Chains A and B, each alone.
Chain A
């Protein structure tokens, strides 16, 4: 099995994770979708220097990992490709923002370093929250919930198909990488000179397959309307979960928990 086959297997595994059972899995998609959005909004709303205010927001994902039984390890393993990209976003801040805003003992910390750390943490928190949503909710259910909030049908269907097509594309990539390496033994990666034709082929091949996939949907009576499986209704426990989450976010957002706990950093 090469790297790409493994990637494909992993996409399938997400469906399996989502099909497990736990108090979090058993909540309605609506409750989870709303609380995830609220969480992300809360995280993003923090000031770029407010690292100490942001840190306690780690509490929510940690709780969800615990209750849902999804290993934190799995999360970081699956996100290993995007995580560095998100982390890289704030990498240049320390060079632009040299203004000292914090002293830890004798070490002076510039605004750039704090805002870089804040940005990184924001990225990680948002990724974790999104991962938890997808790992505890079947993708169809997330789409069904989006439909309930009147997100346009075309958009949701596109999202769903993209999720399915990612698999197709990865599979084509796997076949092509194998074919390439069999004819270029000992070579690491794919030589720059072949990138153009490689990408072109990949696009054509995955388009061919996507077309056939779509034809197979049409032949089975699909016409722009996806029939989602019946969704878990929004019940009392969903209301409790959503209200609890929102309350927690408000608390973490507007009350300086760090200061309450005695102040981790000294301003």
Chain B
């Protein structure tokens, strides 16, 4: 579904942020992308979405990410931004949700049905006509996820989906992510969440892959995690 072939990128000349990255993610796989602050996780997402262009080759569902394929690639990928306030820009949740389907030339009736379907799938029917400036942080994060699901993407990318959420809303978001059947790529420092939602983990260190394997193994490797400014997930503490 997603393939990086020797991808490099630098924001400023001579200062590579991503250094010859290669990995692939299969259909339906759930992958956690972890690493210290500044390791390049968000940059990987932006490269994948074609918001940044680097060297090397990125394939999404067999399509190369380039100018010509941009629209087709983006249609396959749903991106949940780290800051939901930047994702939701319409007055109401409903208007935000219907924005993408309409852009993809879905008829308005069909788009409305999609919105209703996604909202009831997530148990968020009550949010439909609420104003974005009047819902809580947790609700906004869920609404942002709903907005992306209304696109019916083949893969879902999430940048720190549980950041700034209280435990209750964090749990709701985790359960929601677990229930999604799509291919998933999730970045986070919340390793407990990654353990709960992903079967595989890619550890990024200074723009390179430091480890790639089953979540259960990598997230138990105290030395590896600590070398990358992270700690063992709480749920694994004392059970090494």
Contacts and interface: CB of A to CB of B under 8 A. Distances in A.
Interface of A: 8-9, 11-12, 15-16, 19, 138, 140, 164, 167-168, 171, 209, 212-213, 215-223, 225, 227, 229-230
A143 to B, nearest CB: 13
A23 B117 CA distance: 33
Nearest to A138: B91
19 contacts: A11-B133, A15-B91, A15-B92, A138-B91, A140-B95, A168-B86, A212-B81, A212-B83, A213-B86, A217-B99, A218-B51, A218-B74, A220-B103, A221-B71, A221-B100, A225-B103, A227-B99, A227-B103, A230-B108
Interface string B42-63: 0000000101000000000000
B131 A15 contact: yes
B104 interface: yes
Contact of A222 (B51, B103, B134, B147): B103
B81 A216 contact: yes
A221 B151 contact: yes
Contacts of A8: 133
The 8 A-B pairs at the shortest CB distance, nearest first, are namely A221-B103, A12-B133, A220-B100, A227-B102, A15-B91, A212-B86, A221-B104, A216-B87
Contact of B89 (A12, A19, A216): A216
The residue among B86, B132, B147 with the most chain A CB atoms within 10 A of its own CB is: B86
A165 B99 CA distance: 17
Given A164-B89, A216-B87, A229-B95, A221 B131 contact: no
Interface in B75-130: 75, 77, 79, 81, 83, 85-87, 89-92, 95, 99-100, 102-104, 108
Given A209-B86, A212-B86, A229-B95, A219 B79 contact: yes
B91 A12 contact: yes
Given A227-B99, A229-B95, 17 more contacts: A11-B133, A12-B131, A15-B92, A16-B131, A140-B95, A164-B89, A215-B51, A216-B79, A216-B89, A218-B51, A218-B74, A219-B74, A220-B100, A220-B103, A220-B147, A222-B103, A223-B103
Contacts of A219: 49, 51, 74, 77, 79
Contact of A213 (B49, B89, B108): B89
Nearest to A14: B91
B149 to A, nearest CB: 12
B131 A220 contact: no
B74 A221 contact: yes
Given A9-B133, A15-B131, A230-B108, A217 B83 contact: no
Nearest to A11: B133
Contacts of A215: 51
A230 B112 CA distance: 13
A25 to B, nearest CB: 15
B49 to A, nearest CB: 6
A118 B91 CA distance: 37
Given A213-B89, A215-B51, A230-B108, A221 B81 contact: no
Contacts of A227: 99, 102-103
A163 to B, nearest CB: 10
Nearest to B103: A221
Nearest to B148: A220
B151 A220 contact: yes
A214 to B, nearest CB: 9
Contacts of B85: 171
Contacts of A164: 89-90
A89 B41 CA distance: 53
Which of A209, A215, A221, A223 gathers the greatest number of chain B CB atoms within 10 Å? A221
A211 to B, nearest CB: 9
A15 B102 CA distance: 21
